[in-house]
Amino acid sequence: MYLFIMRLLKQLFKKEKLPARSYYVPEGELVYAIGDVHGRFDLLEQLIGMMESDWQSRSDISKCHVVFLGDYVDRGFQSKEVIECLVSIDLDWATVVCLQGNHEAMMFDFIKNPSENEGWLHFGGLATLASYGVRIRENEIGDRDLVRAASEFDDALPESHKSFIKSLPLQHQIGDYLFVHAGLRPEVALTEQDTADMLFIRHEFTESDYDFGVKVVHGHTGVQNPTLKHNRIAVDTTAYATGRLTAAVLVDDKVDFLTT
C-alpha cells in the first residue's frame, strides 16, 4: 500500500515534460559544418568531395554554406597543405566561412614568444613545424632552439597563410545555429562571450544543459561519434588519429552527418 501511494503521489506531482525545441536554417538553405581537420589534408579533400556529391543530390536547395570550425593545424602532418587549401578555396556551389581554433591561436603565440609557449610543440606543433620544413627535436629543446625554430617558422609561413589565420572570426550564425570552435560559457549573453572560452572551453560547456537560445555547433572536444544534444552538436571526431573527419549536415530542422 505504501509503495502504491508513493507512486501515485509521484505521478500527481511529476513535472510535465516540455516538447523538444526545433532549430532551423533558413528555408531552401543547406549548411555543412566541419570539425577539427588537424593537418589531415587527405581527409579534407575526401570530405569536400562527399559534401559536393551530397549537395548535388538535393534539388530543393537554393543556397549552400560550408563552415569550418577551426583547428586546421597541428597533430597531423599536412598542416601546410590544409592552410593552402583553405586560403585558396573557391567552391562554386557554396559560400565558405573558416573560424579560428585554439591551435591557430597557440601557433601564433609560439611565434611571438617561443620560450613561454613551448607547450604548443607538445600539443601537435612539432608536426606543423615539420610541414613547413622547420626541424626541432622534442627531447632537445632549450631557449635558443625555441627562438631559432620560431624565427624559421615565421620566415617559412607565407604571408597569405598569416593573413588568412589572423583574419579568422570566432563565431558565425546561420538561422538558429551558432558555429564556434570550442563552445560558449553558460549563462553569459552571446554578445558577451569571452575569446578564451570560445577557443578553449570544455566541461563547463559540454556538461551544461543551458539553453543558449541557439543550437551551438562546435569542435574542440573530441567525440567517438558526432553527438547531437538538445543545445549543441559536437563534430570533432579526432580525425588526425581516427581517419574520421566529420561534417554536420543541416537543412530545415533536420541534422545529419557525413564522415570520411
pLDDT digit string (tens) for the chain, length 260 residues = 554 455 544 554 444 444 568 999 999 999 999 999 999 999 999 999 999 999 999 999 999 999 999 999 999 999 999 999 999 999 999 999 999 999 999 999 999 999 999 999 999 999 999 999 999 876 767 889 999 999 999 999 999 999 999 999 999 999 999 999 999 999 999 999 999 999 999 999 999 999 999 999 999 999 999 999 999 999 999 999 999 999 999 999 999 999 99
The domain limits of the chain are 26-259
Check if the beta carbon of residue 188 is closer than 8 Å to that of residue 216: no
Degrees, nearest 5: CA angle 212-173-91 = 150
Name the superfamily (CATH) of residues 26-259: Metallo-dependent phosphatases (3.60.21.10)
Orientation of helix 159-166 relative to helix 102-112, angle to 10°: 120
* Maximum Cα interatomic distance, the chain, rounded to a whole number of Å: 80
